[in-house]
Amino acid sequence: MVVDGKAQDSDGKTDSSFSRPISLDPVTVAYLRRHLAMLRQERKEFGDSYQDHGKLFCHPDGRLIHPDTITRRFNRLVDRAGVPRIRLHDVRHTYATVTLDNGEDLKVVSDRLGHANMNVTAQIYTHRSVGRDRDAATRIADLIFGEDWHAPETPEEDEEAA
């Protein structure tokens, strides 16, 4: 966190959000192992001058990275990817929304995000995605019109047929 341009060591998390196991996919595990090996090598190379703060991301000599530096790097990656810019924290919202949109169980997503109550996940950390309710709309139409219904032709299709 940054206050008046100075980094403050605060994570803003409750005690319940720590010490919970979550599964990682094999690709993430491989990259994490590679990153940890790099940290061990840097720690070895810098010896006693290595500033060990116990952080996963730091300068090669162990010095802490200013949070604004992380934000700038994230923004450059977002710009390079050509996707709309969001705040780094919004990655959590995106993760929750995309995961739920793809059929993952709300409880599983809530647990992975570290929420004590899945209502937090449902009400705050997810956002309606365009088309997410399309299957529900079709099922309701099947109930109302019968399963053999078809959409009426649009005025443009009527003109083309004439």
Give pLDDT, residue 93.
87
- Let me know whether 109 and 61 are in one domain: no
For residue 162, is it within any domain?
Answer: no
How far apart, in whole angstroms, are the C-alpha atoms of residue 92 and residue 138? 30
- Let me know whether 89 and 134 are in one domain: yes
Give pLDDT, residue 137.
78
- Let me know whether 61 and 93 are in one domain: no
For residue 157, is it within any domain?
Answer: no
For residue 78, is it within any domain?
Answer: no
How far apart, in whole angstroms, are the C-alpha atoms of residue 85 and residue 71? 11
- Let me know whether 102 and 49 are in one domain: no
- Let me know whether 60 and 88 are in one domain: no
How far apart, in whole angstroms, are the C-alpha atoms of residue 114 and residue 124? 13
Give pLDDT, residue 162.
55
For residue 34, is it within any domain?
Answer: yes
For residue 45, is it within any domain?
Answer: yes
Amino acid at 91: V
Question: Length of the chain, please?
Answer: 162
- CA 74-105-14 angle, to 5 degrees, is 55
- Let me know whether 141 and 91 are in one domain: yes
How far apart, in whole angstroms, are the C-alpha atoms of residue 122 and residue 38? 38
Q: Is the distance from CB of 110 to CB of 120 less than 8 angstroms?
A: yes
What is the DSSP code string of 115-145? -SSHHHHHHTS--PPTTTTHHHHHHHHHHHH
Give pLDDT, residue 156.
66
Give pLDDT, residue 160.
62
Place of tokens 């001058």: 49
For residue 111, is it within any domain?
Answer: yes
Q: Which residue segment(s) compose the domain that 60 sits in?
A: 23-65
Give pLDDT, residue 102.
82
For residue 154, is it within any domain?
Answer: no
- Kindly report the pTM of this predicted structure: 0.67
The encoded tokens of residue 47 equal 């010896």
How far apart, in whole angstroms, are the C-alpha atoms of residue 8 and residue 130? 38
- Let me know whether 125 and 91 are in one domain: yes
The domain total for the chain is: 2
Give pLDDT, residue 58.
94
- Let me know whether 42 and 95 are in one domain: no
Give pLDDT, residue 56.
92
Mean pLDDT by 10 residues, the chain (162 residues): 69 61 91 96 97 93 93 95 91 87 88 89 74 74 80 67 56
